[in-house]
Amino acid sequence: MTFDVELRKLAPSALIPLLDLLDRHKIKCTFFILGRLADRSPEVPAEIISHDHEIACHGYAHDPYDKKPFNYVKTDIEKGTAAVSKICDVVGFRAPYFRPHKKLARILENLGYHYDSSVPSKRFDLFIGRTNNPYNLLAPATPYSPSRENIFQRGSSRILEIPLASFGLPLLGVVMRNMGLKLFITLKNFISTFSDLIMFDIHIWEFLEASDDPVKRQTIFFHRRRKGKETLQMFEAFLNYLEQKGKFVMLSTLAEDIRSTRRTL
């Protein structure tokens, strides 16, 4: 279970009910924090840490990396890492919009990261969304060591890639809100036929009421649909379902488990 935290304004009004809900369910999660937010509002990640969740890094400025030059991406990650590391040690990374640079593993390995979670394996938005990278279709669906030259392929990098669960559509909050829970669970169950690990991701801004969201996505129908309280209720119903099916794990714990198993093999 993962969350992306980008929005500074109004973040607490979306964050506090969510943290309370996770406490009630005794679930520990991974929150990917934007470096810019960590710089400007360190109280947001501090609040998350006080509930014993994991903090990981989401870059600095939130530009997609796939079309940017290598040096731009490297600088943005270094800046983001420096900002988030002021708050706590981080071992995990996620590229903005799940759009990594091909050589992302090379940068993360040099910065001492243990894992990355930027590849939406088997995702293809059919031009509805913004992620139509054919490399996603070829990427492994379960955790793997990526290549330093191409994050979408297996290789010998020391970092671990933990992909987002997808089949065509990804298990993201925006998909859940627009599909409705019943269909979304059908999608999740289909993905479970080829992956034991189900990684779901939702943004903190999705828990804001549409009228409170200061960003222009209010005008986009599928971003505006079922937000705020309705999202929180649907999210809790999804948690209730998942609790009967398996256990929750923070990505740092999962990465350490996989690394230690490999060492003993």
Considering only the stretches 1-9, 65-73, 192-200, 218-226, report the one whose residues sit in contact with Zn ion under the rule CB under 5 A. Answer: 1-9
User: What is the contact mask toward Zn ion in residues 233 to 262, using x (rule: CB under 5 A)?
Assistant: ------------------------------
**Contact between 114 and 108 (Cβ < 8 Å):** no
* Min dist. Cβ of residue 95 to Zn ion (A): 8
At closest approach, how far in Å is the CB of 58 from Zn ion? 6
* CA neighbor of 159 nearest in space, from 116, 104, 118: 116
Q: How far is the CB of 261 from Zn ion (least distance, A)?
A: 30
* Number of residues located near Zn ion, criterion CB under 5 A: 2
Q: Is 130 or 158 the residue whose CB approaches Zn ion more closely? A: 130
96: left (phi over 0), alpha (psi -120 to 50) or beta: beta
**Interacting positions 45-104 with Zn ion (CB under 5 A):** 96
In the bound complex, what is the minimum distance in angstroms from residue 4's beta carbon to Zn ion?
Answer: 4
CA neighbor of 151 nearest in space, from 103, 111, 97: 103
Which residue in this structure is represented by tokens 């960003």? Answer: 215
Residues in contact with 178: Cβ distance below 8 Å, sequence separation at least 6, in sequence order? 222, 225, 226
CB of 52 to Zn ion, least distance (A): 23
Please say which residue, 3 or 258, places its beta carbon nearer to Zn ion: 3
- If the CB atoms of residues 93 and 235 are measured against Zn ion, the closer one turns out to be 93
Cα angle, residue 163 at apex, residues 57 and 238 outer, rounded to 5°:
90
Residue in the shown chain whose Cβ atom is closest to Zn ion = 4
- In the three-class reduction of DSSP (H, G, I as helix; E, B as strand; rest coil), residue 130 is classed as coil
* Closest alpha carbon to 150 in 114, 105, 93: 105
Cβ closest to Zn ion, residue 96 vs residue 129: 96
- Min. distance of Cβ 72 from Zn ion in angstroms? 17
Helix ranges (DSSP H) in the chain: 11-25, 35-40, 43-50, 70-85, 104-110, 134-138, 173-179, 181-192, 221-224, 229-245, 251-264
Residue number with CB closer to Zn ion (35 or 143): 35
Q: Of 15 and 258, which has the nearer Cβ to Zn ion?
A: 15
| Phi, then psi, of 78 in degrees rounded to 5 | -60, -40
> For Zn ion, which is the closer residue by CB, 92 or 96?
96
State which residue, 96 or 228, has the beta carbon closest to Zn ion: 96
Site string for Zn ion, 10-49 (x = CB under 5 A): ----------------------------------------
CB of 3 to Zn ion, least distance (A): 10
Question: What CA–CA distance (Å, rounded) separates 260 from 202?
Answer: 29
Answer for which of 2, 4, 14, 171 binds Zn ion (CB under 5 A) is 4
Query: In the complex, what is the shortest distance from the CB of residue 240 to Zn ion, in angstroms, rounded to a whole number?
Result: 26
Say if strands 201-203 and 54-57 run parallel, antiparallel, or are unpaired.
Answer: unpaired
Give me the residue label for tokens 């935290």.
5
Binding residues (CB under 5 A) for Zn ion: these are 4, 96
